[in-house]
Copies of this chain bind each other. A is one copy, B any other.
Amino acid sequence: MKNFSITGIYTDLYQLTMAQVYFLTGKSHLHCCFDYFFRKLPFEGGYAVFAGLENVIDLLQELHFSKDDIDYLKDIGLKREFADSLEHFRFRGTIYAVKEGEIVFPNEPILRVEGNILEAQIIETMLLNILNFQSLIATKAARMKSVAGTKTLIDFGLRRAQGTGGYHATRAAIIGGFDSTSNVKAACDFGIPCVGTMAHSFVQSYDQELSAFRDFAANRPEHCVLLVDTYDTLRSGIPNAITVAGEMKARGHRLQGIRLDSGDLSYLSKHARKMLDDAGLHDVKITVSNQLDEWVIKSLQDQHAPIDIFGVGTSLVTAPPDAALDGVYKLAYADGKPRIKLSENLKKITLPDKKQIYRTYLKDEHHFDADVICLQDEKAPSVMHHPFEPDKSLSLTGRKQEPLLHLVMQNGKRGNTPIPLKDIARYTQKRLRMLPEEHKRFHYPHTYKVGISEQLRHERDELKRLHKP
């Protein structure tokens, strides 16, 4: 981990062995296009939030193979002439993508890489690794935000994160709607508000809980949040916090809040609120933590638990029960021709050629309810077909339509100015407001319609016929 950095070998070996074959057979410069898409929404939910794009662009701009990388590849049997050629490897391809923070759905070509087959192949693993994970976490965070409403959400996840994955998890959490984090490294690098309270060990290191609270308050008078469940929440922690709050007031300070980290958070928050209010401490906020997820937050909200701040760890940054978005990267075009991958499972047959996605709006023009995938150069289609059921179609005549794929990288150079994380997060919330409610509920959400154009359907079906033995 000394200076771990993502270089060209942050990939699967087969990308490099395939690249070697392209290199040795003179196919390196074959022009091709790959689509990034996923097949299944995580959490049995109704939507996903696309995240990770800005990091991918940054990484691609500087991706290279170090001398050590090249030596290693020779050691494990790659051909000298190919391995040496990687010294000059730079990604010079072109990328179209939906905006980072966009609301996306299964089978949509969210991002397209155009380039020579060698570069497009080598970057596959890194691109999937970053986009799959950040989109997963941004989606999980958005679900929590959807039930937390205007209450504050803090990421407390680093200790339970999947190793250094916790770094980008925090970034993705902000995109999904979180307000701040306890993760100092991520806060520093991504410009996220960094917050924290206190741990049980602080209290335990004193002989008396009250002395611990007093020392903390004296030294953190501006940001004092006291953890009240080390020994007994209602009989010791909160009474001691109230004592300290009074002492702080007398010195012109204010106790910012208390944190509950165990027990029944609905029951305890109600009692805590009453005890604080009875002591005139109406502005002391209640933070809760301990195994929260979107379901627990929803339940606490449904019970009108007087909680101001939710601190979410494990479930946010590791996103159980799914823990992964099944995003793939499939060849759609090569050597001047559209390409297809067949499967016995109809849903796994890929959509060939260079494509565009149009988002289609309801009459009010403020909500969208269907996306149509078409060929890149088509106009916004007037009808869309169900991708697998030949008899189902939907007329789009007269509907407002908006293309979703934009140029973000051209010949290896960033095609846009870097977008601040805050703006991405704001865009996500804006787009979520435009998604009808029935797609956002947790139980059996309404399926968002994603169709294909007449021309795309025709092209896919022709290719299917061509390749069926």
Contacts and interface: CB of A to CB of B under 8 A. Distances in A.
A59 B9 contact: no
A207 B331 CA distance: 13
A145 interface: no
Interface in A224-244: 229-232, 235-236
A467 B15 CA distance: 60
List the 5 closest A-B pairs by CB distance, nearest first. Answer: A165-B165, A13-B196, A14-B196, A162-B165, A162-B162
Contact of A21 (B202, B319, B342, B348): B202
B323 A162 contact: yes
A156 to B, nearest CB: 7
Interface string A1-36: 111111101111111111011001101001010100
A139 interface: no
Contacts of A187: 13, 76
Interface stretch (A129-137, A272-280, A435-443): A129-137
B117 A205 contact: yes
Contacts of A335: 205
Given A4-B5, A159-B12, A323-B319, A232 B21 contact: no
Contact of A262 (B124, B321, B343): B343
A55 B1 CA distance: 8
Contacts of A345: 262
A423 interface: no
B167 A4 contact: yes
Given A129-B163, A320-B323, A215 B168 contact: no
A150 interface: no
26 contacts: A3-B4, A12-B182, A17-B220, A18-B198, A18-B199, A18-B216, A21-B216, A21-B219, A25-B215, A25-B219, A27-B205, A32-B201, A117-B205, A121-B199, A124-B159, A128-B159, A129-B163, A133-B161, A133-B163, A162-B162, A162-B318, A164-B164, A164-B167, A204-B340, A232-B342, A232-B469
A345 B232 CA distance: 11
Counting every copy of the chain, the complex holds 2
A125 interface: yes
A326 interface: yes
A229 B322 CA distance: 26
Contacts of A134: 163
Nearest to A464: B231
B198 A17 contact: yes
Contact of A199 (B6, B10, B14, B314): B14
A61 to B, nearest CB: 11
A383 B130 CA distance: 52
Contacts of A143: none
A187 B73 CA distance: 11
A133 B121 contact: no
Contact of A205 (B164, B229, B334): B334
Given A134-B163, A163-B133, A323-B162, A200 B262 contact: no
A339 B204 contact: yes
A302 interface: no
Interface in A149-206: 156, 158-169, 182-185, 187-188, 194-202, 204-205
Interface string A293-326: 0000000000000000000001000111111111
Given A13-B195, A121-B199, A128-B159, 11 more contacts: A11-B185, A12-B196, A25-B219, A136-B162, A163-B167, A165-B165, A200-B331, A201-B329, A230-B341, A231-B468, A262-B343
Given A125-B158, A223-B17, A467-B231, A2 B342 contact: no
A130 B324 contact: no
A76 B193 CA distance: 9
Interface in A48-100: 55, 58-59, 62, 68-69, 72-73, 76-77
B158 A201 contact: no
A355 interface: no
Contact of A1 (B58, B125, B163, B195): B58
Contacts of A219: 20-21, 24-25
